[in-house]
Amino acid sequence: MNPPAALPSALGSLEGLRVIDLSRVLAGPYCTQILADHGADVLKIEPPVGDETRGWGPPFDAKGTASYFYGLNRNKRARTMDLSDPAERQALLDLLCDADVLVENFKTGTMEKWGLGPAQLQARFPRLVYCRITGFGADGPMGALPGYDAAIQALAGIMSVNGEPDARGGEPLRVGLPVVDMVTGLNAAVGVSFALIERGRSAQGQYLEVALYDAGLSLLHPHAANHLMDGRIPGRSGNAHPNITPYDTFATATEKIFLAVGNDKQFAMLCKLIGAEDLPGDERFKTNGQRSAHREALKERLEAALSCFECKPLADRLVRQGVPCAPIQDVASALADPHTHHRGMVVEIGSYRGVASPIKLGRTPASYRLPPPDRSV
């Protein structure tokens, strides 16, 4: 079987780059969508049963494909291959003859069993950048075990710092987004880019591995930095920041506002604009360190002043005066926000709608050429 025809010229920064995407679910497809948005020709190869996220709904489109799949697979061509079949493995090798990048997230050892492991392929294709996404890496105490976003959030300490404090009856919570999978995908895209830049000097590809476990640990700032300095075990602080005050949700006359005040100048301006000019002169609140030590008293004073203001008009006034803050929007409001549309962050390709690339290159911007592919046989 011949592969689908190559994409027309993308005019992106990765135009001419050919990527074979053997990955499924989230981290790998997110990585390859980043590459595809910026001009790479990505051929997504699915097993006969398809990428399982095609069934991760509702909602589903008219053809029965879930929105979850749609969010991760635009700008890709598609082909179905059963790599347990020797003939199909040979077809993959034929495709790799002119490929630059391979991305896969099979269980450790599977590709080697098929004769398609990193060492085996790079001996045959020395310029190939081979990116493997794993749960825990190939070795070590948890080597080769499968990894999943929520389980890594639990194991890597993320859940332990997310949620309301014990004093408020809180318990550890999973972050409501697949942050581990997504940052793993970002790291994979960055790693592929690094390897391609180095290949420009050496003319040699290389193998890179990105593990969900490592990505989960990398997300622990500033909690890991705090612990490594003073040895204390971080706990849950709700919406509050462990190092900065006021950096939390605060009640107003209407809905809550989120204040993200990062320095003394911003704090003074906040107090001026809400009629609490005396607070910066209070010894308890003069510096961030003092404010953090007296955060409950400060919150009480601020909420007393904020009770005279409606959230959204106040947030607009504060941010325009240099005080970081925001009303708390739901997903629908965020996607419909005028600034979202001004930034071009909702893309449409026919009936497909998705969140656009956040990477804004001036001369070679992202482009949106193909909707997520239908099942291909």
What does the pLDDT look like over 66-125, one tens digit per residue? 999 999 999 999 999 999 999 999 999 999 999 999 999 999 999 999 999 999 999 999
Count CB neighbours of 357 within 10 A. 22
Task: Using alpha carbons, select from 155, 174, 173 the residue that is nearest to residue 165.
Answer: 173
**What confidence tens digit (pLDDT) does each residue in 271-330 have?**
999 999 999 999 999 999 999 999 999 999 999 999 999 999 999 999 999 999 999 999
DSSP 375: P
Question: How does the average pLDDT of the chain come out, rounded?
Answer: 94
Determine the distance from the C-alpha atom of residue 339 to the mean position of all C-alpha atoms in its chain, rounded to a whole number: 21
For the segment 357-377, the average pLDDT, to the nearest whole number, is: 90
**What confidence tens digit (pLDDT) does each residue in 220-248 have?**
999 999 999 999 999 999 999 999 999 99
* Predicted confidence (pLDDT) at residue 5 exceeds the cutoff of 60: no
Distance CA(351)–CA(85), nearest Å, equals: 36
Q: Looking at domain 257-327, which of 3.40.50.720, 3.30.1540.10, 3.40.225.10, 2.60.210.10 is its CATH number?
A: 3.30.1540.10
Query: What's the confidence (pLDDT) of residue 1?
Result: 44
pTM summary value: 0.92
> Residues spanned by CATH 3.40.50.10540 within the chain?
18-219+349-355
Q: Using pLDDT thresholds of 50, 70 and 90, give the confidence band for residue 4.
A: low
Q: Using pLDDT thresholds of 50, 70 and 90, give the confidence band for residue 9.
A: very low
> Residues spanned by CATH 3.30.1540.10 within the chain?
257-327
Query: What's the confidence (pLDDT) of residue 169?
Result: 79
* Predicted confidence (pLDDT) at residue 10 exceeds the cutoff of 70: no
CATH superfamily of 18-219+349-355: Crotonobetainyl-coa:carnitine coa-transferase; domain 1 (3.40.50.10540)
Distance CA(81)–CA(87), nearest Å, equals: 10
Instruction: Work out the percent of the chain whose per-residue pLDDT is above 90.
Output: 94
Q: Using pLDDT thresholds of 50, 70 and 90, give the confidence band for residue 170.
A: confident
Active site residues: 181
* Predicted confidence (pLDDT) at residue 129 exceeds the cutoff of 80: yes
* Predicted confidence (pLDDT) at residue 376 exceeds the cutoff of 70: no
Query: What's the confidence (pLDDT) of residue 147?
Result: 92
* Three-state DSSP state, 250: strand
Buried b (16+ CB within 10 A) or exposed e, 203-221: eebbbbbbbbbbbbbebbe
